[in-house]
């Protein structure tokens, strides 16, 4: 039993473990796939912004190619370049050549104020090597002028960002032919508008994409999903913009429905499927186990039957042989000889009844059990059948009381009736010795009923159906009453073959068996 259930639960446990692993691996895979999908979408958005900035770079570089040096030319250039807030010029030493405070306009003074910190070296430098000490300006304080000169020795143009007041500011610079640098402060709002204009704000079916600045504030956002006021949502994916806006980032927020749709994997379905398989296996295991135990029980019953048949055959045979030898040994004692001869006859009859039962059972197994058509008078046949067992019943102190009211009715199958009554009385002898048994007959509705009622312990409630099963015994221990376990089975089959039935009726005490047979219509 233990091994059997191990064979069921071990595969289930292994399958469950594998299912959990597969589900976990699947979930991990789906997370990676989802992350890749979101990263891809953000990368697509970033690339468009980057393309827009690159285009602006080319435009600015072209505009600054001539790199005039005179202030009037520089001011004229500024007016010409869109998105240029202020033009600036560095000499080859890194010093700010234009604008200068001496002849600056108000806008130029504003530029000088905004950029004062970077020329003084307090701004955040982008890329390049750390700046050298500025020549001129604030003594000992590093500035970006030298670094731009250094960068100009390396690259044609580039960006420089710094923070001042309301946020990020950008300088675009280009190497000048004289070894200096010319550049513009880019109009931040205009640049932002150009970047936002390049973003693919359509085609997002669900969720939301945000462009956030370096402080985390949303610069712009799009998508059908609206943010919940006051809620701080964690983005499902983030991606930093490319320079010069690399302190900004794109954020992707998935809607709950979108997240569920993309993350729902086969986990639940897998477990449901596994549960279904497990249930099926369990049902199959239970069925196999029950079938197996049923066959074991049947086999055990057959073995028990063979054992009991062997015992039942051998015991009377032993007696026959033993008494026959006693007769032979003491052949000159007439009185004893007669007694011994009676024993031999009685035991032979007992053996004959047992053999009849076994043969009938064998015929029943082959489907060839049938009642013979001979008709007998019911009361007379019942009395004769019981009479043959009188010596056996007397030896067990069983008194027989007859209440025969068949009123001359006749039934078919005299031999079957004899065997049925004999089997019933044999059971009384085994299970209800030392008491009274009532054998009665009466007619009802075209049938006759033969009842055998004893005063024994009766049949337990749980055995009332099983007692008619072949080989069934109340117990198989060595101390149980003798018998093969087929008597009642054969009796009922004979009754049914004769068109009637045998049943265990309700009884206040003891056991009451009722044999019902149809009244024979025409005498044979």
| Smallest distance from another protein to CB 420, Å | 25
Binding to another protein (CB under 8 A): which residues in 464-483? Answer: 477-482
Helix, strand, coil percentages (3-state) for the chain, rounded to 5, are 50, 20, 30
Convert residues 280-309 into a mask of x (bound to another protein by CB under 8 A) and - (unbound): ---------------------------x--
Please select the residue that binds another protein; options are 13, 395, 465, 466, rule is CB under 8 A: 395
The tokens for 97 are: 């050549």
Q: Is 318 in the site for another protein (CB under 8 A)?
A: yes
Residue number, 152 or 354, with CB nearest to another protein: 354
Please name which of 167, 189, 150, 182 lies closest in space to residue 86, comparing C-alpha atoms: 182
d(CA 69, CA 176): 10
Please select the residue that binds another protein; options are 258, 319, 348, 507, rule is CB under 8 A: 319
Convert residues 219-258 into a mask of x (bound to another protein by CB under 8 A) and - (unbound): ----------------------------------------
| Smallest distance from another protein to CB 465, Å | 26
Q: Is 58 in the site for another protein (CB under 8 A)?
A: no
Q: Do 182 and 145 touch, CB atoms closer than 8 A? A: no
**If you search the block for the tokens 């549960």, which residue do you land on?**
275
Q: Do 316 and 347 touch, CB atoms closer than 8 A? A: yes
3-state secondary structure of 491: helix
Q: Is 25 in the site for another protein (CB under 8 A)?
A: no
d(CA 387, CA 390): 5
d(CA 158, CA 150): 12
Please select the residue that binds another protein; options are 76, 283, 317, 345, rule is CB under 8 A: 317
d(CA 438, CA 273): 64
Q: Is 397 in the site for another protein (CB under 8 A)?
A: no
Q: Is 35 in the site for another protein (CB under 8 A)?
A: no
Stretch in the footprint of another protein (CB under 8 A) among 101-109, 140-148, 249-257, 320-328: 320-328
Could you tell me which residues come within 8 angstroms of residue 421 by beta carbon, excluding any fewer than 6 positions away? 381, 382, 385, 386, 439, 450, 452, 515
Q: Do 459 and 467 touch, CB atoms closer than 8 A? A: yes
Number of residues that bind another protein (CB under 8 A): 30
Residue number, 106 or 479, with CB nearest to another protein: 479
Convert residues 432-471 into a mask of x (bound to another protein by CB under 8 A) and - (unbound): ----------------------------------------
Q: Is 5 exposed, middle or buried (0-12, 13-18, 19+ CB in 10 A)?
A: exposed
The neighbour count for residue 35, using CB atoms within 10 Å, is 12
| Smallest distance from another protein to CB 310, Å | 6
Residue number, 74 or 320, with CB nearest to another protein: 320
- DSSP annotation of 461 reads G
Stretch in the footprint of another protein (CB under 8 A) among 169-177, 200-208, 317-325, 508-516: 317-325
The two beta strands, 157-164 and 96-98, are unpaired
Q: Do 406 and 441 touch, CB atoms closer than 8 A? A: yes
3-state secondary structure of 456: coil
The tokens for 325 are: 């030898």
Please select the residue that binds another protein; options are 32, 330, 368, 372, rule is CB under 8 A: 330
Stretch in the footprint of another protein (CB under 8 A) among 96-104, 129-137, 212-220, 340-348: 340-348
Q: Is 373 exposed, middle or buried (0-12, 13-18, 19+ CB in 10 A)?
A: exposed
Q: Is 311 in the site for another protein (CB under 8 A)?
A: yes
What is the crossing angle of helices 334-365 and 414-431, to 10°? 110
Q: Is 310 in the site for another protein (CB under 8 A)?
A: yes
Stretch in the footprint of another protein (CB under 8 A) among 274-282, 326-334, 421-429, 485-493: 326-334
Please select the residue that binds another protein; options are 124, 326, 404, 503, rule is CB under 8 A: 326
Please name which of 386, 8, 46 lies closest in space to residue 198, comparing C-alpha atoms: 46
d(CA 344, CA 169): 130
Residue number, 242 or 480, with CB nearest to another protein: 480
Please select the residue that binds another protein; options are 28, 178, 325, 399, rule is CB under 8 A: 325
Stretch in the footprint of another protein (CB under 8 A) among 38-46, 316-324, 441-449, 455-463: 316-324
Length of the chain: 524
Convert residues 362-381 into a mask of x (bound to another protein by CB under 8 A) and - (unbound): --------------------
Please select the residue that binds another protein; options are 31, 58, 290, 321, rule is CB under 8 A: 321
- DSSP annotation of 433 reads T
Q: Do 364 and 487 touch, CB atoms closer than 8 A? A: no
Residue number, 202 or 477, with CB nearest to another protein: 477
Residues that bind another protein (CB under 8 A): 307, 310-311, 313-323, 325-326, 329-330, 332-333, 343, 346-347, 395, 477-482
């Amino acid at each position: 039993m233990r091994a059997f259930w191990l064979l069921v639960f071990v595969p289930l446990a292994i399958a469950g473990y594998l299912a959990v692993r597969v589900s976990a691996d699947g979930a991990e895979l789906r997370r990676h796939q989802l992350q890749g999908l979101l990263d891809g979408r953000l990368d697509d958005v970033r690339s468009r912004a980057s393309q827009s900035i690159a285009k602006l770079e080319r435009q600015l570089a072209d505009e600054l190619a001539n790199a005039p040096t005179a202030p009037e030319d520089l001011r004229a250039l500024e007016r010409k370049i869109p998105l240029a807030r202020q033009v600036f010029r560095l000499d080859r030493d890194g010093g700010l050549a234009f604008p200068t405070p001496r002849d600056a306009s108000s806008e130029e003074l504003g530029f000088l104020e905004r950029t004062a910190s970077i020329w003084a070296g307090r701004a955040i430098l982008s890329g390049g090597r750390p700046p050298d000490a500025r020549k001129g300006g604030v003594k000992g304080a590093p500035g970006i002028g030298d670094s731009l000169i250094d960068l100009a020795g390396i690259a044609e143009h580039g960006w420089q960002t710094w923070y001042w007041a309301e946020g990020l500011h950008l300088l675009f610079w280009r190497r000048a032919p004289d070894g200096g640098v010319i550049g513009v402060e880019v109009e931040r709002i205009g640049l932002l508008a150009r970047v936002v204009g390049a973003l693919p704000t359509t085609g997002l079916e669900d969720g939301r994409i945000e462009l956030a600045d370096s402080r985390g504030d949303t610069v712009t956002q799009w998508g059908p999903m609206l943010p919940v006021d006051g809620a701080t949502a964690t983005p499902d994916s983030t991606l930093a913009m490319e320079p010069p806006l690399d302190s900004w980032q794109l954020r992707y927020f998935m809607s709950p429905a979108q997240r569920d749709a993309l993350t729902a994997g086969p986990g639940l379905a897998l477990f449901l499927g596994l549960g279904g398989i497990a249930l099926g296996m369990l049902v199959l295991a239970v069925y196999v186990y029950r079938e197996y135990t049923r066959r074991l029980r049947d086999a055990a019953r057959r073995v028990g039957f063979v054992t009991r048949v062997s015992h039942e055959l051998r015991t009377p045979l032993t007696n026959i042989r033993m008494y026959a030898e006693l007769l032979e040994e003491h052949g000159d004692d007439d009185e004893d000889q007669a007694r011994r001869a009676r024993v031999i006859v009685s035991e032979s009859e007992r053996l004959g009844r047992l053999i009849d039962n076994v043969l009938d059972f064998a015929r029943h197994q082959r489907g060839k059990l049938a009642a013979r058509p001979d008709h007998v008078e019911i009361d007379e046949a019942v009395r004769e059948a019981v009479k043959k067992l009188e010596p056996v019943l007397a030896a067990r102190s069983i008194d027989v009381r007859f209440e025969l009211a068949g009123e001359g009715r006749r039934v078919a199958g005299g031999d079957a009736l004899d065997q049925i009554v004999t089997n019933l009385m044999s059971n009384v002898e085994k299970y209800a010795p030392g008491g009274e048994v009532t054998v009665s007959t009466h007619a009802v509705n075209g049938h006759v009923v033969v009842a055998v009622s004893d005063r024994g312990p009766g049949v337990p409630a749980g055995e009332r159906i099983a007692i008619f099963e072949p080989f069934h015994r109340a117990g198989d221990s060595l101390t149980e009453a003798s018998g093969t376990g087929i008597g009642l089975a054969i009796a009922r089959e004979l009754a049914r073959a004769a068109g009637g039935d045998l049943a265990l009726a309700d009884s206040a005490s003891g056991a009451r068996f009722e044999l019902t047979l149809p009244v024979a219509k025409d005498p044979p």
